[in-house]
Amino acid sequence: MRRLHKGDIPSADIAAIAASTDYVFVVGLGKSKLDALTAAGANLYGYVKCSGVRGPTAKGGQDAQWDAAQDLLWRAPDGTPFIHRDNLWCYGHIQDHPAEWYAAVVKPQVEALLASAKYKGLLLDNAIGQTPDLFAPANPEYTPRGYHDGSLVILALLRRDFPALEIFPNGWIGSHPVGLRGEALGATIPKGAPGEGLPFCHGVWFEGVRFKASGKRPTDERFVADQGGYIGLANAGRVCVWDELSQKPGTAGFSEAWSAFLGTRSVVTNRDNCVMSVAGPPWADWWKAA
């Protein structure tokens, strides 16, 4: 079974993780660690937001594209930018200006990422949809269709400009209407669009399948729907990442989620397309033989 690591990596674990892990997703690592991972042969994947830019009050510091993004920020009628409730970055108006947002923010961030290390791909976060409660203040303009279609424009432009880059949008929004949850990620870019004929992405990120981000279980109906989406996209050839971000390895909750993942994986045609996200020590490799 393929292994995916997401998160920080202690320096002492770099060699072991590089040798044993198929996908190493990192965010904000320093140059020395990136150089060490590259030298160790790690398959590195970076991180870029589909619809966000960090300003001076955001967690993690201000992005270099902050000034260029000003005219494209999604704003309330009084001019206040809509921000992400938890992490305080600002939303770009990708419903109305996806191509402009891509040119001003997303593309420069990807170019900077690729200049900093030898990345094989990236996680494109906050793509396809958002749960409305993430906006602060409340955003009455948000629509599942508008945000979904704007995300696809950005993905198509990324595929055109960086065709060799393995892109994993995050991703699947099970609370949205059928057809706007991420099903399109299993398709190819339509004729006449940038990147036409290419798959929209290499893989899809599923956050909180067996447990929500809050740690609560979803309804049985929601779990079965998300599980079906996972199976469908994996069978469509996408590498599907199952990420139980509220459950830590070694806990009862993670064991339950792990069992659900294995059961789901058992009915996928190409099981190599099924990957569990783990930020754990190298000895967690026991499941590679599963």
pLDDT tens figures, 241-269: 999 989 888 789 988 999 999 999 999 99
Mean of the per-residue pLDDT values of the chain? 93
Beta bridge partners of 6: 25
Which has the closest alpha carbon to 268: 239, 237, 240, 235?
235
- Contact (CB, 8 A) for 53 and 63: yes
87 token code pair = 């992490």
Q: Is the pTM of this model over 0.75?
A: yes
The number of helix segments (H) and strand segments (E) in the chain equals 7, 12
How open is the CA angle 49-16-285, to the nearest 5 degrees? Answer: 85
E runs forming strands in 126-177: 135-136, 166-169
User: Is-cis flag, bond preceding 186, omega within 30?
Assistant: no
Give the separation between CA 217 and CA 225, rounded to whole angstroms: 14
% of the chain surpassing 90 pLDDT: 81
The predicted pLDDT at position 286 comes to 46
Give the separation between CA 203 and CA 181, rounded to whole angstroms: 15
Beta bridge partners of 55: none
Residues in Cβ contact with 101 at an 8 Å cutoff, skipping those fewer than 6 apart: 51, 69, 72, 92, 93, 94, 150, 154
CA torsion 86-139-156-231 (nearest 10°) is 70
Asked if the model's pLDDT at residue 144 lies above 60, the reply is yes
The predicted pLDDT at position 289 comes to 43
The predicted pLDDT at position 279 comes to 67
Give the separation between CA 223 and CA 212, rounded to whole angstroms: 10
Q: Rounded to 5 degrees, what are φ and ψ at 81?
A: -65, 140
Give the separation between CA 19 and CA 197, rounded to whole angstroms: 34
Instruction: Tell me whether strands 135-136 and 166-169 are parallel, antiparallel or unpaired.
Output: unpaired
Long-range contacts formed by 75-78: CB under 8 A, 24+ apart: 76/137, 76/139
The predicted pLDDT at position 83 comes to 97
User: Is-cis flag, bond preceding 137, omega within 30?
Assistant: yes
The predicted pLDDT at position 119 comes to 96
CA atoms within 13 A on the CB side of 124: 32
Mean pLDDT of 213-229: 94
Asked if the model's pLDDT at residue 281 lies above 70, the reply is no
Give the separation between CA 45 and CA 257, rounded to whole angstroms: 24
For the chain, which domains are there?
A: 4-48+93-289 (3.20.20.70)
What kind and span of H or E run contains 275? strand 274-278
